Amino acid sequence: MSGDRSANNAGFRRTRRTLADGRAIRYYDAVATARTAVDTRDLPPATTHSQTRFDPLLGEWVVVASHRQTRTFLPPADLCPLCPSTPERPTEIPESDYEVAVFDNRFPSLSTHPDQLPQTVEGSPMTLLDNGFGHCEVVCFTSDHNSSFANLDPARARLVVDVWADRTAELAAADGVAQVYCFENHGEEIGVTLSHPHGQIYAYPFVAPRTEAITRNLTEYRKAHGSNLFGDLLTSERSAGIRVVAENSEWTAFVPPFARWPYELMLLPRRRTADICDLDDAQRAAFAELYLNVLGRFARRFDTPMPYIAAWNQPPTPRTGLPREDWWLNLHLFSFRRSGNKLKYLAGSESGMGVFISDTLPETVAAELRELA
């Protein structure tokens, strides 16, 4: 079980090790820390087989990953696979403690083991078929099972930002990767299957529909107005102020005027950067500060913390040939909860037609969240 340790300009130390089934695990530490624990589990070699099938009606790829039916589902805390290992119970993380750990998902949606497949689905020549190639990683924010991202201190939150940047850079450079997507699902209502504080990173072999649409609209807006759509949106929201929830010298968090979800925020840096890797030290530190601020507001809005999805919007990788010059990195934070005990369900209009019916007024939501300072 070998590993390589490398210093990083971002101010952290990364140690790469190998798990018992051949998957990689990387430890990120604010100061140099020996990471030599061995995975003692008896695991078969990690192999997964996914497919992508192209929907010719919508022009979108669908990932088929039937092996995920057997993944771990809401185990009790004493059986959590994301907690540090103990002599009595080895877990996915061999060390007895850690700051931030990233490992290859044991039940990934995308596969690094491509199969030989026909070009189309059997009996459907108009449905293209390809390998579900890609990378899926789990990012553990803390070894404390009972914590959450909202409860991290600013230094640890900043370390997570550095980790997102480090993993984005490495995965974006991998062959066949068209987009890197960092995200967190938080709360059982969202569909979280492990309650330990963690997020995920997907490296897609295609450009996601949302990213493709944004890229197209940025280009069209530039042609029509001669300016950056993200930049104009940020300027107008900061000028109006009525939907701004919080801001600092580097970032602004506001409820988008076209919000779809009951509680929704966009976090944009004031200075344009295309992806997380481009953020400088000041932007990374200021993001950690503002993000903890707004997560605290989400946690305090109702009697119990809101479930949420935090989704980083980054551009397609350069190899796709799609334009990146107008991309403006942003974090999309939203919750399905529309009141203390009610959720927003994606019913007939949303699920059937993709037309959202909003249950809340963006200006009211912004005022509510501002009051929770």
Distance of CA 274 to the CA centre of its chain: 16
* Whole-number Å distance between alpha carbons of 125 and 329: 38
* Whole-number Å distance between alpha carbons of 334 and 184: 11
In terms of DSSP bridges, do strands 342-343 and 135-140 run parallel, antiparallel, or are they unpaired?
unpaired
Residue 269 bridge partners (DSSP)? 251
Binding-site residues from annotation for Zn(2+): 80, 83, 145, 196
Measure Cα distances from 96 to 35, 143, 156 in Å: 10, 9, 18
Report phi then psi at 306, rounded to 5.
-75, 140
Element (H, E) at 371: none
The distance in angstroms from the start CA to the end CA of the chain is 48
Whether 210 contacts 329, CB under 8 Å:
no
Smallest CA-to-CA distance from 184 within 169, 164, 158 is with 164
Whether 151 contacts 115, CB under 8 Å:
no
Binding-site residues from annotation: 80, 83, 145, 196
* Whole-number Å distance between alpha carbons of 57 and 65: 21
Smallest CA-to-CA distance from 277 within 169, 163, 119 is with 169
Sequence-distant (≥ 6) Cβ neighbours of residue 264 within 8 angstroms: 255, 256, 332, 333, 334, 335, 362, 365
67 is a catalytic site residue: no
Q: Map residue 221 onto helix, strand or coil.
A: helix
Torsion of CA 294, 295, 301, 302, to 10 degrees: 170
Whether 237 contacts 244, CB under 8 Å:
yes
Q: Map residue 234 onto helix, strand or coil.
A: helix
Among 186, 198, 225, 332, the active-site one is 198
Which residues are catalytic, by number?
Answer: 198
